[in-house]
Amino acid sequence: MPRGLFITLEGLDGSGKTTQIKRLAAWLQRRSLDPIVTRQPGGTATGDRIRALLLDSRSTGLAPMTEMALMFADRAQAIAEIIEPALVAGRLVLCDRFTDSTEAYQGGGRELGSQLILDMHRLICGDLQPDLTLLLLPSLSICLERARRRNVRVAAQTGKDENRFEQEEEAFYQRVWRKYREIAAREPQRVVLIEGNLTIDEVHEQIAEAVAERLITAGHTH
C-alpha cells in the first residue's frame, strides 16, 4: 500500500487555521479522501493533558526549554499513536500545527533559535516531514485582535483558560511572525505561504489549489 500524505497547517493564533482546516477536511471528504484530522499540542489523551499544562495561564514560570520539550513530548506521542499508523495505512493526515510551530514560537518567539529545534526534530521525529505545509500569515494586528476575541469567548462559554500564549507582548508575536516567514523562504517546496488579509473563501481557494496540486504529484487522485 502506498504511504499516505501528511499535510500541516501553520500560522499565528487568530490566523484562521481552525476554520480552514475544517473546510479543507470537508473538501477532501467530498473527494472521498477521508482525512484523519488532529492538532498539536493535543490530539491524544496524553497530549491533551500536556496541552492543558502548556496553555493554562496558571502555568507560570515555565522555562523556554521546558515549553519546547513538552511540545516535542506531545509530538512524539501524536506520531506514535496517530500520525505514523495513519500514514502507513495510506491515509491522509491533516495536522493543525507541527514542528514549524515549535521553530516559530520557541525558536523565534522564545529566542531558542532554529538549530536547536531542528536538532530536536531529528532526534524525536526522525525524518518525518510534512509533504505539504499551508502557512496562513495575515497581518499581525488582525491575528492578535482575532485571537483575543476568541479567547474571551471561549473562556466565557467553557470556563477553559487557554490564554498563556496570548498574554505575550507584541514583540514576541513579531518574532514568531518573522520566523514563520524565514521558514517559508528556506523551504519553498514544502511550505505554501498564504499572505495578506484575504476572505475565508479566498484563503480556502488557495489552500484547495495547493492541495489538489500535491495530490496529483503524489498520485492520490482518482
Residues that bind ligand TMP (CB under 6 A): 13, 39-41, 55, 71, 97, 101-102, 105-106, 165
Q: Which residue is nearest to ligand TMP (CB)?
A: 105
Nearer to ligand TMP, 105 or 177 (CB): 105
Nearer to ligand TMP, 44 or 101 (CB): 101
Nearer to ligand TMP, 75 or 220 (CB): 75
Looking at the chain, how many residues does it have? 222
- Cis before 138? omega within 30: no
Nearer to ligand TMP, 44 or 102 (CB): 102
* Angular region, 126: left φ>0, alpha ψ -120 to 50, beta rest: left
Nearer to ligand TMP, 13 or 131 (CB): 13
CA–CA separation, 58 vs 36, rounded Å?
32
The DSSP H or E segment spanning 94 is strand 92-96
Cell of 117: 529545534
For the CB of residue 18, give the shortest distance to ligand TMP in the complex, in Å: 7
For the CB of residue 104, give the shortest distance to ligand TMP in the complex, in Å: 8
Nearer to ligand TMP, 97 or 220 (CB): 97
Q: What are the respective helix, strand and coil percentages of the chain, to the nearest 5?
A: 60, 10, 30
CA–CA separation, 17 vs 129, rounded Å?
19
For the CB of residue 98, give the shortest distance to ligand TMP in the complex, in Å: 7
For the CB of residue 41, give the shortest distance to ligand TMP in the complex, in Å: 5
Residues with Cβ within 8 Å of 39's Cβ and at least 6 positions away in sequence, in order, are: 95, 96, 97
CA–CA separation, 42 vs 96, rounded Å?
10
For the CB of residue 150, give the shortest distance to ligand TMP in the complex, in Å: 9
For the CB of residue 217, give the shortest distance to ligand TMP in the complex, in Å: 27
